[in-house]
Amino acid sequence: MAGDWVGEWNNLTYGSSGPTSMEVIVREDGTVSITFDLDGFVFGLLDPPAITFDMNYDADGVVFDKTGDSPFGDLTLTATADG
Protein backbone atom coordinates (compact mmCIF):
# COMPACT_ATOMS: atom_id res chain seq x y z
CA MET A 1 0.00 0.00 0.00
CA ALA A 2 3.02 2.30 -0.06
CA GLY A 3 2.73 5.20 -2.46
CA ASP A 4 0.67 8.23 -3.30
CA TRP A 5 -3.13 7.96 -3.49
CA VAL A 6 -5.75 10.46 -4.65
CA GLY A 7 -9.53 10.54 -4.57
CA GLU A 8 -12.50 12.41 -3.16
CA TRP A 9 -14.14 12.57 0.24
CA ASN A 10 -17.86 13.04 0.94
CA ASN A 11 -19.56 14.14 4.16
CA LEU A 12 -23.00 12.54 4.00
CA THR A 13 -24.25 14.51 7.02
CA TYR A 14 -23.55 17.99 5.64
CA GLY A 15 -23.38 17.29 1.90
CA SER A 16 -19.85 18.66 1.51
CA SER A 17 -17.10 17.04 -0.54
CA GLY A 18 -13.67 17.71 -1.98
CA PRO A 19 -10.43 16.22 -3.23
CA THR A 20 -8.17 14.18 -0.99
CA SER A 21 -4.69 12.74 -1.17
CA MET A 22 -2.75 10.29 0.95
CA GLU A 23 0.95 9.43 1.07
CA VAL A 24 1.91 6.09 2.61
CA ILE A 25 5.57 5.52 3.51
CA VAL A 26 6.50 2.01 4.66
CA ARG A 27 9.95 1.62 6.18
CA GLU A 28 12.00 -1.54 6.70
CA ASP A 29 12.32 -0.75 10.42
CA GLY A 30 8.65 -1.68 10.96
CA THR A 31 7.17 1.83 10.88
CA VAL A 32 4.59 3.41 8.60
CA SER A 33 3.71 7.07 8.09
CA ILE A 34 0.39 8.00 6.52
CA THR A 35 -0.26 11.63 5.60
CA PHE A 36 -3.86 12.62 4.75
CA ASP A 37 -4.72 15.88 3.05
CA LEU A 38 -8.44 16.64 2.82
CA ASP A 39 -9.18 19.74 0.75
CA GLY A 40 -12.32 21.85 0.74
CA PHE A 41 -14.83 22.67 3.46
CA VAL A 42 -13.90 19.88 5.93
CA PHE A 43 -15.77 19.60 9.26
CA GLY A 44 -16.78 23.24 8.97
CA LEU A 45 -13.17 24.34 8.46
CA LEU A 46 -11.66 25.77 5.32
CA ASP A 47 -9.00 23.42 3.96
CA PRO A 48 -7.41 22.07 7.15
CA PRO A 49 -3.68 21.27 7.08
CA ALA A 50 -2.51 17.78 6.16
CA ILE A 51 -2.23 15.40 9.11
CA THR A 52 0.32 12.58 9.58
CA PHE A 53 -0.17 9.39 11.56
CA ASP A 54 2.81 7.23 12.50
CA MET A 55 2.34 3.56 13.36
CA ASN A 56 4.13 0.21 13.53
CA TYR A 57 3.60 -2.97 11.54
CA ASP A 58 4.68 -6.60 11.78
CA ALA A 59 4.21 -9.83 9.78
CA ASP A 60 0.45 -9.75 10.51
CA GLY A 61 -0.08 -6.19 9.24
CA VAL A 62 -0.89 -2.95 11.05
CA VAL A 63 -3.50 -1.93 13.60
CA PHE A 64 -3.81 1.72 14.61
CA ASP A 65 -6.21 3.17 17.18
CA LYS A 66 -6.36 6.78 18.27
CA THR A 67 -9.00 8.34 20.48
CA GLY A 68 -9.94 12.00 20.40
CA ASP A 69 -7.91 13.07 17.40
CA SER A 70 -8.55 16.62 16.24
CA PRO A 71 -10.31 17.00 13.83
CA PHE A 72 -11.14 13.35 13.05
CA GLY A 73 -12.27 12.07 16.46
CA ASP A 74 -11.82 8.35 17.13
CA LEU A 75 -9.86 6.48 14.45
CA THR A 76 -9.20 2.82 13.75
CA LEU A 77 -7.12 1.48 10.87
CA THR A 78 -6.56 -2.21 10.26
CA ALA A 79 -4.57 -3.60 7.33
CA THR A 80 -3.70 -7.28 7.20
CA ALA A 81 -0.61 -8.71 5.55
CA ASP A 82 -2.76 -10.85 3.24
CA GLY A 83 -4.55 -7.79 1.83
Top mean pLDDT of 11-15, 30-34, 42-46 is at 30-34
With 70 as the cut, is the pLDDT of residue 83 above it? no
pLDDT in tens, 51-75: 899 999 988 888 888 888 877 789 8
The pLDDT tens digits of the residues spanning 40-52 come to 888 777 888 898 9
Domain that includes residue 10, residue range: 3-80
Instruction: Measure the N-to-C terminal CA separation of the chain; round to a whole number of Å.
Output: 9
Q: Which long-range contacts (CB under 8 A, 24 or more apart) does 76-83 make?
A: 77/34, 77/53, 79/1
Task: Work out how many domains the chain is built from and give that number.
Answer: 1
The one-character DSSP state at 58 is B
Is 1 in a helix, a strand, or coil?
Answer: coil
